[in-house]
Structure 1
């Protein structure tokens, strides 16, 4: 049986934020933004909650019916985005005002975000730690990537670990060639996926 996926609504906001919190608590980027584990445990959910709020307002959250996984997608038009500069500041203000890294990570990734073509942006995808390694992320992404192929629309994301980069490469994403270097921290890999040829008869 395949993963049952539905679109999350405002009533799911806290559950999705909590899922992302536990899924990314030990992620290299989250650990860089919030180096102290106890402090991270207190504010990390607020930080990721900003992503959920933005996506519920402007995009779509695909959510496993059993609560095991969620993917946050934004359709980004071609051209320089309007209002994007406000989001990193909001992340810092909401989660941890004295921590400039909350804002810096958004500004650094925003600086390399492609602007030439309309695309689907996978802002974040999280899987419950107890369910990781079972292919749920791939299954959750599949409907959007299939739609991209049908519509001839590229997709974009930033991989935050070598492991996730390898997963995305298997799904057709390729490293853009310009890594995001977090000061005294880990790399992030911007990745672009061109529309794939549809199977014969599709």
Structure 2
């Protein structure tokens, strides 16, 4: 796998950098604001019992994990305000088994989550729905992930509400698109909003592949999966170069939910 290039600066008034520890709190605030009212978040959390402190702790764990194991980018305004954040997990060949380091990182993540739950409780998380979602997501990915070399998985994309409509999401995504295209590896994401997100991501050369409905009998949430094919490896070819913007992000942020 190619070594990620240093983040570019695609806009004169916007700085995109890799996430650092000092950026975490502002990045979490952006995620929480961007996903207020998100269909998945409203389905998986009991809003009457929602704990922003527990959610902050959960996202802090995920951000630190991403700094160690993923690729997390932050967009800063000239005033150093966090305008957006994107987290990607790099590709793993579908037949490749986890390494000992992978196991160790997973166990460390589990223990940190255990400590968080001991301190904050569930914070309104509907645990039954969490496990239903994880099972549904696993089946979805197993059915649509066919590239032997794996996928770049965007599991968080969030734009601060005051910064939406400026093409920041596309600029954040381009940081990994350049890497993925050079490697010949497709990209993948999931969204809980068909409108307007699917059309937005289609402008970034993603194509809709499949949806899955998570329904526990008392409520349901639908996830829409999309794939951005590597150049010359299928898909729908070139798409509009028009800057586009998301209404909250790729809602892969749901992967920051912890049981």
Same fold? TM cut 0.5: yes
Matched, 1:99 2:126: yes
**Structure 2 equivalent of residue 172 of structure 1:** 205
Select which of 39, 45, 70 maps to 2:85.
Answer: 70
Deviations 1:96-144 (A, max 9, x none): 2763133433332233222633221101100001111221101111131
Divergent runs of 4+, >6 A: 84-93
**Structure 2 equivalent of residue 139 of structure 1:** 171
User: 2: distance between equivalents of 1:128 and 1:104?
Assistant: 29
SS in 2 for 1:176: strand
Matched, 1:193 2:228: yes
Q: Does the 8 A contact of 1:34 with 1:40 survive in 2?
A: no
TM-aligned CA deviation for residue 41 of structure 1: 4.2
TM-aligned CA deviation for residue 166 of structure 1: 1.5
- Relative to structure 1, is the Cα distance of residues 111 and 56 closer, same or farther in structure 2, using a 3 angstrom cutoff? farther
Q: Does the 8 A contact of 1:88 with 1:107 survive in 2?
A: no
**Structure 2 equivalent of residue 151 of structure 1:** 183
Question: How many positions carry a matched residue from both structures?
Answer: 198
Select which of 156, 179, 182 maps to 1:124.
Answer: 156
SS in 2 for 1:182: strand
Structure 2 stretches lacking a partner, 5+ long? 1-9, 239-259
User: 1: distance between equivalents of 2:177 and 2:68?
Assistant: 21
- Relative to structure 1, is the Cα distance of residues 55 and 85 closer, same or farther in structure 2, using a 3 angstrom cutoff? closer
TM-aligned CA deviation for residue 5 of structure 1: 0.5
User: 2: distance between equivalents of 1:49 and 1:111?
Assistant: 27
- Relative to structure 1, is the Cα distance of residues 79 and 190 closer, same or farther in structure 2, using a 3 angstrom cutoff? same
Matched, 1:15 2:20: no
SS in 1 for 2:132: helix
Higher relative contact order (CA 8 A, sep 6+): 2
- Relative to structure 1, is the Cα distance of residues 132 and 173 closer, same or farther in structure 2, using a 3 angstrom cutoff? same
SS in 2 for 1:111: helix
Q: Which has the larger radius of gyration?
A: 2
